[in-house]
Amino acid sequence: MALINENYLKLPGSYLFTEIARRVTAYKEQNKTANIIRLGIGDVTRPLPAAVIEAMHKAVDEMAQAETFRGYGPEQGYEFLIKAIIEKDYAPRGIILNEDEVFISDGSKSDVGNIQEIFGCDNTVAITDPVYPVYLDTNVMAGRSGELGADGKFPGIVYLPCTAENDFKPALPETKVDLIYLCCPNNPTGTALPKAELKKWVDYAKKNGSVILFDAAYEAYIREPEIPHSIYEVEGAKDVAIEFRSFSKLAGFTGTRCAYTVVPKSVMAITKGGKSYPLNQLWNRRQNTKFNGAPYIIQRGAEAVYSAAGKEQVNALVEYYMTNAKIIREGLASIGLEVYGGVNAPYIWLKTPNNMDSWAFFDKLLTEVNIVGTPGTGFGPSGAGYFRLTAFGNRENTEEAITRIKTKLSL
Ligand code: MLT
């Protein structure tokens, strides 16, 4: 009989957003006329920018002609997109990258989930808490933890609490950790770490031989000048950090799928025998074996994000969602709720009224005002008593949701 990977059994029955969808469907079945507004999963609602559509149409036409047709592309991505990323995302910030340090993919969820494969099972993993569940789940699947405890934590994983009490700034771990996941701007809290805070982590990683896995999927939403857009703006980070970026939230690619991961050749890890290897080499090997490249049509669409017209259209998209964030933030604050985030990120993190349990507040919001959000505990034990709303809805729904909360929710 084939044996299963029993680490999967340690995880809760379903992935957070699958569980939310299940609960909403069940409610909808019982309440068929309910006009539900979904501000739960952080999925975009605006269409792709015109420049992206135009580039993808052109690429489709190329696929129709024998002379311009493309089959398998480079596993690492096409040179035209890699060059645009290096020249437009990094060079203006004084960050120099080689073309073979950027890997195009079909999404950051896959990359942040897969990256742990190139590390040994004996590494100690640190995650900020609360955080995007993929970091934890994939490490549990790989066997880097024990069984889930009654405290909601997996033994072996180092949790770094980020709550209003510490201004959502994780403290350095008391014990030595090898892999550190940082998400900045943060999903779910919507808060971001200034350069001085990131420097502490880079210094820690250098001192302890750790690697920082820096998820910058929400980089385009940064508004405050003291928040770096890339970890590589911090001196020394190119020796210790891998960075993940995505076109999903930047340009509406959640369904279109395109992202990239930067693995500088200077980031090293060692064998048990103490021999050093560049992680770039391992990630390249992994991608060559398990990935056949993001589609040509999609990469042409992503390239168009960097054109003059594309840039302008993308900025308008981001502004649209950030206006939603302001509407949510100010609307909730006006009825006395404690709100965080929404300034450098499209997420608003609120304290549940009267310290209500996160899932209880989820049910209350769903049943009393037909609004779907995400319970804080879904992102980790330190999310208890918090709740997330996304600014990715359309304007009408966002305004309607806030009006309902202000006028119909019993607090
Ligand atoms: C979220 O809601 O946290 C995000 O949409 C999840 C994701 O980007 O995969």
At residue 171, the pLDDT reads 98
**Per-residue pLDDT averaged across 217-224, rounded?**
98
State the distance from the centre of ligand 1 to the C-alpha of 43, rounded, in angstroms. Answer: 7
Average pLDDT over residues 37-47: 96
Q: Indicate if the pLDDT at residue 15 is higher than 90.
A: no
Q: What is the pLDDT of residue 14?
A: 80
Residue 208 buriedness (CB in 10 A; 0-12 / 13-18 / 19+): middle
Kind and range of the H or E run holding 173: none
Q: What is the pLDDT of residue 314?
A: 98
**295 CB near ligand 1 (under 6 Å):** no
| Dist. CA 250 → ligand 1 center (Å) | 13
pLDDT for residue 2 is more than 90: yes
Return the residue whose CA atom lies nearest to atom 5 of ligand 1.
42
**pLDDT for residue 325:** 98
State which of 132, 189, 221, 250 you would mutate to test the pocket of ligand 1, scoring each by most atoms of that ligand within 8 A of its C-beta.
132
Helix axes 16-30, 358-369, angle to 10 degrees: 30
Ligand 1 contact via 21 beta carbon (within 6 Å): no
- pLDDT on residue 411: 85
- CA 274 from centroid of its chain's CA atoms: 33
- Asked if residue 54 has its Cβ within 6 Å of ligand 1, the reply is no
| Cβ–ligand 1 contact at 41 (below 6 Å) | yes
Mean pLDDT, range 134-148, rounded to an integer: 97
Nearest atom of ligand 1 to the alpha carbon of 134: 9
Q: Bridge partners of 245?
A: 260
Residue 13 predicted with pLDDT over 90: no
Closest atom of ligand 1 relative to the 217 alpha carbon: 8
**How far apart are alpha carbons 17 and 30 in whole angstroms?**
20
pLDDT at 291: 97
Edge-to-edge strands of the sheet including 347-351?
Answer: 339-341, 347-351, 386-390, 374-375
Ligand 1 site, residue 187, Cβ cutoff 6 A: yes
Ordered domains of the chain (ranges, CATH): 12-47+311-408 (3.90.1150.10), 53-308 (3.40.640.10)
Residue 352, ligand 1, Cβ within 6 A: no
390-403: average pLDDT: 98
- State whether the beta carbon of 246 lies less than 6 angstroms from ligand 1: no
Give the pLDDT confidence of 353-366 residue by residue, as tens digits.
999 999 999 999 99
The answer to whether residue 187 scores a pLDDT higher than 90 is yes
Compute the average pLDDT of residues 57-78: 98
Mind listing the pLDDT tens digit for each residue in 273-323? 999 999 999 999 999 999 999 999 999 999 999 999 999 999 999 999 999
Is any atom of ligand 1 closer than 6 Å to the C-beta of 42? yes
394 confidence band (pLDDT: 50, 70, 90)? very high
Give the distance (Å) from ligand 1 centre to CA of residue 390: 10
Structure-token pair, residue 349 = 């993190």
CA-CA-CA-CA torsion sign (361, 365, 368, 372): negative
pLDDT of residue 19: 87
Beta-carbon contacts of 337 under 8 Å, excluding residues fewer than 6 positions away, are 350, 351, 353, 411
Of the candidates 257, 127, 113, the residue with the CA atom closest to the CA atom of residue 188? 127
Q: Is the CB of 261 under 6 A from ligand 1?
A: no
Q: What is the pLDDT of residues 221-236, one digit of tens each?
A: 999 999 999 999 999 9
> Which residues have C-beta within 8 Å of that of residue 43, sequence separation ≥ 6?
254, 390, 392
Residue 173 reports pLDDT greater than 90: yes
144 in contact with ligand 1, CB cutoff 6 A: no
Q: How far is the CA of 245 from the centre of ligand 1 (A)?
A: 13
Ligand 1: does its nearest atom lie under 6 Å from the Cβ of 62? Answer: no
The model's pTM: 0.97
| pLDDT score recorded for residue 90 | 98
- Is the shortest distance between the CB of 139 and ligand 1 below 6 Å? no
pLDDT at residue 92 is higher than 90:
yes
Whether 364 is in the pocket of ligand 1, judged by its Cβ within 6 Å, is no
